[in-house]
Amino acid sequence: MDLRADHFSLFGLNRGFRLDLSDLDSRYRDIQAQVHPDRFANAGEAERRMSMQWATHANEAYQTLKKPLERAKYLLHLGGHDIQAENNTAMPADFLMDQMEWREAVMDARHGGDHHELEHLHNRLRGDINTRYQELGELLDGSGDFALATDRVRRLMFLEKLLHEIDDALASLEE
């Protein structure tokens, strides 16, 4: 096994956004069964250290590939495209206005204790995000438009954060 292998190669997968997650799970379990540190408890120090490195690498690769946003960012990275998340927060005005409206609706529902409205917002946003991931899959796997895919990933970062805020609001009402 090569610790320098990309995450897809590690699991013997073709490089692409669309993955069979059950296949990924199965391949991850197979690798973990081979390299888990418990299997090397009686081995020498070097073998135990290598096992730990492999297990860590497999865990990081799995966590990246199983989450669509992280998988997309990783694919863009492999393709040499920097999403510039830290230093480029510019977004189209209409997208930012939508974000403000969503956040206001979440805040109003949260302050009003409206669990039903928060669930409605969550479901609407989840549907929008799923549609955007389908579009992203086409950009990354189909047309290979990495520039547009980079923009879509940056937008999805905003939307995933908003979804997390809705989930937090729901959780706060359940306490």
Between CA 106 and CA 117 the distance in angstroms is 8
Please give the CATH architecture assigned to the domain spanning 93-174. Up-down Bundle (1.20)
C-alpha span between 47 and 49 (Å, rounded)? 5
- Give the model's pLDDT for residue 1: 66
Q: What integer pLDDT is reported at residue 49 of this predicted model? A: 85
Chain region(s) in the chain for CATH 1.20.1280.20: 93-174
* Tally of helices (H runs) and strands (E runs) in the chain: 7, 0
Enclosing H/E stretch for 9: helix 7-10
pTM reported for the whole predicted model: 0.87
Q: What local confidence, expressed as pLDDT, does residue 175 receive? A: 75
Residue intervals of the chain classified under CATH 1.10.287.110 are: 7-66
Q: What is the CATH number of domain 7-66?
A: 1.10.287.110
For residue 49, what are its two tokens? 């250290």
pLDDT at 48: 81
Among candidates 153, 130, 132, 10, which has minimal Cα distance to 77? 153
What is the structure's pLDDT at 88?
Answer: 67
Chain centre distance of CA 98: 22
In which residue ranges of the chain is pLDDT below 50? none
